[in-house]
Chain A
């Protein structure tokens, strides 16, 4: 906020004619840039003389393919004999298989009626009657789509993965919440884990655990535990000092203080953590189908390989429904905490839960007796056919020859040759040290020297790994897709911020785009845009757009009404209001939107390897497909570095806000 208000004042101040040093002090960004320029002036000639410009110098790379290859060989030949596998990984893997199987069998035993009633009852208890109806309807829809068994498989996997993530996250969060040292060590680790595109670390997991459920669950836990840990730590650290003092003065022991005061006070953060963990686990459950997780993700993935958008959608819809039900339920539970209990006394507290359990048991029993355990095959709605017809129609009419704008194929080819190609050749022809300089300058102007150092080191690591060129290729795709996302997202958000009706209409659309597994988009985008980098960019835009629209709309709406009123009374036109009041005041939100766009786009551009986006994404896919740890892991590491760099470069005060939102 402070920077935003300072903006209009600046020209006046710098014009007062004080010394240059004072001016610099008032403009820290300029000072930083000057310092950087000085350093560059000294270092660049040295570096340039020694290693030259252009791509990253070979002398500064480390070839990891040898050692990584031997690691692969070692794992393959020792997997069924070495104690590390027999007594450690083996038991983990066993435990995962047993627990997933246990949950799955329980779900099957409950039958479709039992599961539906159970879901509705839980939603009713924690979130109210409306969500109970939504939950029931959603589960019935999964059955109607003919996806009952895969839905239960995904659910079983989710239950185990979420439980494990929550336990792990709680433990990490507790440690970080109670000890400053752990907090300091853990924070960068969690930051990094959140920036990681999930696709990048499937390969090492597969190598150790093989394809199938254990690896999938573990990959999911790695991906989904950080938000729980982060929010737990946040909640514990934020406990009201006054309350804590009061508890201490009453003579409570450390453990009592934790259990009776700190944890209960952090309930809201804990629930938010749970909510985030569930959403991330669900998105990972789909990606993990690439390594044989089974369930709905597998159906989507199989449909993808048969170029069958309809079937992919039929499996994608249950995922969206699960996501919506789980998200809304946990969100409502969080909102309800501390609220007065409502409804008749008979249904409050434990009695309500007992009633819910009783009804569920009764329905499950009836289902069993009437042999209604598995969803009846003949009560399904086949949507695949109509969806495919609709898609074919769309493709037929949009691919070429649309008047004025040209067909999607032309659009894609213009985008590729007009935007992606020049951007890529520009980035790859930039001298490597200048890329580092630009990164440093960007990161330092918006952040601290620490963020700048992280960003530069991450970028340098990419060079050292020997994948400078593909990384620049991927970077060019990310930049192009982010630009499109921001243009579209900001324009939609400006509209939505003005009209409550538009925002309301948009909400379900955004929900669907955000939770629909990215694999579902991949085939329609190929049909529309051909093979290459353009369809990958299109899929990335679709995926990242909702977050940008949401954050921006919220930011624009949150602008102080008094400031708006003031502008209006001064006779500002709506356009002026937007440019001179709303946008500057919403700057933190806009920056956060940029940051989110970057992170989300990167995640999809990688999956774009499946539709011909090449570069790092292709290398990861290749590594997975060929079991080639050297290629896959190096590309994965480069993606992580790229993500880290992009996150740091676009993330000023955003970190704190993301935790709160």
Chain B
């Protein structure tokens, strides 16, 4: 390396050194809050919101209570699930309130790196499955068993699915084995990814309006069931051994998951009341759906929906607050 090359390098090195001594040494990018957080210099909590409405309901209620009862400023960040784990481990967000099971991430961040800690059950049990609308199941009761699905492939095909039946999946960020399931169960179906939950809901609403049959990946608890009643299609029973298989070989139903909360490890240590509160946050499916529906069907803002729920159910949330 000649002299003229080294000079800028030396300059760069000394500039870095200067920055290092002047600033706080190494810049830990895992410890940077959002620039929009807490302009007034108050206590803040940053929550991750996932794209489905149930998650918005959790967050909206937690946000209201943290603000009104505990005097926090709350920031929300909307991301997909896996990036949210990443952000949680980096401290960009303080908590995920509803996780549907990410064993890889749990192993990496909770067990190995210890940057994330478990926050306990949310109280809501989640279940993923395949669903058909009730009006269709009433006409053809045997459609609710996977063994008979091939009979109906013809009725369920769309322009997108080509000659096969359409199994509609939602957002690419959701936990799904559907492509493997269709293949391993020899079903005459094509998985069409709606690409986002919003697109999937819109499409289901459209189908329902015309009473057209459809088959969709869907999950409970979900407010849309109140608007479009759906019946689950039975898949081969879920077993531990089946779940342990290579994702490509899975040929059984989805598990029933008690949904989990996860908190950033540093936040738990320094978060005080907010961390306590989020650990105690625990409610039922009915409560969550009550809020979800106000948001999604009645088109209230999440804020307004949460306020109404808080007014109606003081007995539930009072237990989450720190004892005085």
User: Could you tell me which A residues sit within 8 Å of B by CB distance?
Assistant: 76-77, 79-80, 83, 85-91, 93-94, 97-98, 100-101, 104-105, 108, 153, 156, 206, 209-214, 289, 291-292, 294-295, 298, 301-302, 304-308, 310, 384-385, 388, 395, 399-400, 409, 412-413, 416-417, 421, 522-523, 526-527, 530-535, 608-614, 617-618, 621-622, 624-627
Whether a CB of chain A sits under 8 angstroms from the CB of B286 is no
* Contact (A609, B195) CB under 8 Å given A89-B29, A307-B202, A421-B159: yes
List B residues 179-207 near A (Cβ within 8 Å): 192-203, 206
CB distance from B77 to the nearest CB of A (A): 5
Instruction: Give the distance in Å from the alpha carbon of A534 to the alpha carbon of B23 in the complex.
Output: 53
CB distance from B306 to the nearest CB of A (A): 14
- Contact status A532-B159, CB under 8 Å: yes
Instruction: Give the distance in Å from the alpha carbon of A625 to the alpha carbon of B77 in the complex.
Output: 14
Instruction: Give the top 10 A-B pairs by smallest Cβ distance, nearest first.
Output: A90-B27, A625-B173, A101-B35, A416-B159, A86-B26, A622-B172, A305-B51, A625-B80, A532-B160, A100-B35
Instruction: Give the distance in Å from the alpha carbon of A533 to the alpha carbon of B299 in the complex.
Output: 28
* Contact (A399, B206) CB under 8 Å given A212-B34, A212-B77, A302-B78: yes
Whether a CB of chain A sits under 8 angstroms from the CB of B92 is yes
Report chain B residues within 8 Å CB of A79.
Answer: 29-30, 90
Report chain B residues within 8 Å CB of A625.
Answer: 80-83, 171-173
Instruction: From B84, B168, B193, name the one whose CB has the most chain A CB atoms within 10 angstroms.
Output: B193
A86-B27, A210-B30 provided; 20 other pairs, C-beta below 8 A? A76-B86, A87-B26, A91-B23, A93-B29, A97-B32, A101-B36, A210-B92, A214-B29, A291-B79, A302-B78, A306-B295, A400-B210, A412-B159, A522-B198, A530-B158, A533-B160, A609-B195, A614-B195, A617-B195, A625-B173
Task: Return the chain A residue nearest B108 by Cβ.
Answer: A76
CB distance from A420 to the nearest CB of B (A): 8
Instruction: Give the distance in Å from the alpha carbon of A94 to the alpha carbon of B20 in the complex.
Output: 12
Return the contact of A627 from the options B32, B86, B197 (Cβ within 8 A).
B86
* Contact (A626, B28) CB under 8 Å given A104-B39, A530-B206, A610-B196: no
List B residues 32-47 near A (Cβ within 8 Å): 32-36, 39
Report chain A residues within 8 Å CB of B77.
Answer: 211-212, 292, 294
CB distance from A78 to the nearest CB of B (A): 11
Instruction: Give the distance in Å from the alpha carbon of A108 to the alpha carbon of B35 in the complex.
Output: 13
Instruction: Give the distance in Å from the alpha carbon of A452 to the alpha carbon of B212 in the complex.
Output: 49
- Contact status B195-A212, CB under 8 Å: no
- Contact status A87-B20, CB under 8 Å: yes
- Contact status B34-A416, CB under 8 Å: no
Instruction: Give the distance in Å from the alpha carbon of A105 to the alpha carbon of B299 in the complex.
Output: 32
List B residues 42-75 near A (Cβ within 8 Å): 49, 51-53, 56
20 contacts between A and B (CB under 8 A): A77-B113, A80-B90, A85-B29, A89-B29, A98-B35, A108-B39, A211-B79, A292-B79, A294-B77, A302-B49, A306-B56, A306-B296, A307-B296, A526-B202, A527-B206, A530-B158, A531-B192, A534-B159, A618-B195, A621-B172
Report chain B residues within 8 Å CB of A83.
Answer: 26
Whether a CB of chain A sits under 8 angstroms from the CB of B14 is no
Instruction: Give the distance in Å from the alpha carbon of A294 to the alpha carbon of B86 in the complex.
Output: 17
Whether a CB of chain A sits under 8 angstroms from the CB of B19 is yes
CB distance from B160 to the nearest CB of A (A): 4
Return the contact of A209 from the options B20, B29, B199 (Cβ within 8 A).
B29
Instruction: Give the distance in Å from the alpha carbon of A104 to the alpha carbon of B37 in the complex.
Output: 10
Instruction: Give the distance in Å from the alpha carbon of A79 to the alpha carbon of B30 in the complex.
Output: 8
Report chain A residues within 8 Å CB of B78.
Answer: 289, 292, 298, 301-302, 305
- Contact status A211-B86, CB under 8 Å: yes
Return the contact of A104 from the options B28, B29, B35, B83 (Cβ within 8 A).
B35
Report chain B residues within 8 Å CB of A87.
Answer: 16, 20, 26-27
CB distance from A215 to the nearest CB of B (A): 10
Report chain B residues within 8 Å CB of A101.
Answer: 35-36
Instruction: Give the distance in Å from the alpha carbon of A104 to the alpha carbon of B79 in the complex.
Output: 22
Report chain A residues within 8 Å CB of B200.
Answer: 531
- Contact status B27-A531, CB under 8 Å: no
Instruction: Give the distance in Å from the alpha carbon of A295 to the alpha carbon of B36 in the complex.
Output: 9
Whether a CB of chain A sits under 8 angstroms from the CB of B314 is no
CB distance from A91 to the nearest CB of B (A): 5
Instruction: Give the distance in Å from the alpha carbon of A385 to the alpha carbon of B26 in the complex.
Output: 49
Return the contact of A156 from the options B33, B35, B52, B299 (Cβ within 8 A).
B35
Whether a CB of chain A sits under 8 angstroms from the CB of B87 is yes
Report chain A residues within 8 Å CB of B26.
Answer: 83, 86-87, 90
CB distance from A493 to the nearest CB of B (A): 31
Task: Return the chain A residue nearest B25 by Cβ.
Answer: A86
Task: Return the chain B residue nearest A150 by Cβ.
Answer: B36
Whether a CB of chain A sits under 8 angstroms from the CB of B103 is no
Instruction: Give the distance in Å from the alpha carbon of A413 to the alpha carbon of B295 in the complex.
Output: 32
Instruction: Give the distance in Å from the alpha carbon of A298 to the alpha carbon of B20 in the complex.
Output: 34
Instruction: Give the distance in Å from the alpha carbon of A302 to the alpha carbon of B108 in the complex.
Output: 29
- Contact status A206-B160, CB under 8 Å: no
Instruction: From B28, B39, B83, B162, name the one whose CB has the most chain A CB atoms within 10 angstroms.
Output: B83
Instruction: From B33, B56, B198, name the one whose CB has the most chain A CB atoms within 10 angstroms.
Output: B198
Instruction: Give the distance in Å from the alpha carbon of A209 to the alpha carbon of B27 in the complex.
Output: 12
Report chain A residues within 8 Å CB of B193.
Answer: 612, 614, 618
Return the contact of A212 from the options B19, B87, B171, B198 (Cβ within 8 A).
B87
- Contact status A94-B23, CB under 8 Å: yes
- Contact status B28-A86, CB under 8 Å: yes
Return the contact of A611 from the options B32, B34, B199 (Cβ within 8 A).
B199
Report chain A residues within 8 Å CB of B80.
Answer: 624-626
- Contact status B20-A612, CB under 8 Å: no
Task: Return the chain A residue nearest B31 by Cβ.
Answer: A80
Instruction: Give the distance in Å from the alpha carbon of A306 to the alpha carbon of B55 in the complex.
Output: 11
CB distance from A41 to the nearest CB of B (A): 36
Instruction: Give the distance in Å from the alpha carbon of A610 to the alpha carbon of B200 in the complex.
Output: 10
CB distance from B36 to the nearest CB of A (A): 5
Return the contact of A306 from the options B90, B108, B198 (Cβ within 8 A).
B198
Report chain A residues within 8 Å CB of B194.
Answer: 531, 611-612
CB distance from B54 to the nearest CB of A (A): 12
Instruction: Give the distance in Å from the alpha carbon of A384 to the alpha carbon of B36 in the complex.
Output: 25
- Contact status B27-A94, CB under 8 Å: yes
- Contact status A80-B198, CB under 8 Å: no
- Contact status A211-B87, CB under 8 Å: yes
CB distance from A105 to the nearest CB of B (A): 6
Instruction: Give the distance in Å from the alpha carbon of A213 to the alpha carbon of B39 in the complex.
Output: 15
Instruction: From B33, B196, B197, name the one whose CB has the most chain A CB atoms within 10 angstroms.
Output: B196
- Contact status B203-A531, CB under 8 Å: yes
Report chain A residues within 8 Å CB of B83.
Answer: 206, 211, 291-292, 624-625, 627
Report chain A residues within 8 Å CB of B35.
Answer: 97-98, 100-101, 104, 156, 213
CB distance from B27 to the nearest CB of A (A): 3
Report chain B residues within 8 Å CB of A89.
Answer: 29
- Contact status B28-A80, CB under 8 Å: yes
List B residues 143-159 near A (Cβ within 8 Å): 158-159
Instruction: Give the distance in Å from the alpha carbon of A612 to the alpha carbon of B19 in the complex.
Output: 47
Report chain A residues within 8 Å CB of B56.
Answer: 306
- Contact status B39-A93, CB under 8 Å: no
List B residues 87-115 near A (Cβ within 8 Å): 87, 90, 92, 108, 113
Instruction: Give the distance in Å from the alpha carbon of A209 to the alpha carbon of B92 in the complex.
Output: 11
Instruction: From B36, B201, B206, name the one whose CB has the most chain A CB atoms within 10 angstroms.
Output: B36
Instruction: Give the distance in Å from the alpha carbon of A87 to the alpha carbon of B90 in the complex.
Output: 17
Instruction: Give the distance in Å from the alpha carbon of A599 to the alpha carbon of B20 in the complex.
Output: 44
- Contact status A610-B199, CB under 8 Å: yes
CB distance from A350 to the nearest CB of B (A): 33
CB distance from A111 to the nearest CB of B (A): 12
- Contact status A413-B206, CB under 8 Å: no
Instruction: Give the distance in Å from the alpha carbon of A608 to the alpha carbon of B199 in the complex.
Output: 11
Instruction: Give the distance in Å from the alpha carbon of A76 to the alpha carbon of B172 in the complex.
Output: 21
Task: Return the chain A residue nearest B168 by Cβ.
Answer: A531
Report chain B residues within 8 Å CB of A295.
Answer: 36
Instruction: From A105, A522, A625, name the one whose CB has the most chain B CB atoms within 10 angstroms.
Output: A625
- Contact status A421-B162, CB under 8 Å: yes
Task: Return the chain B residue nearest A385 by Cβ.
Answer: B299
CB distance from B276 to the nearest CB of A (A): 26
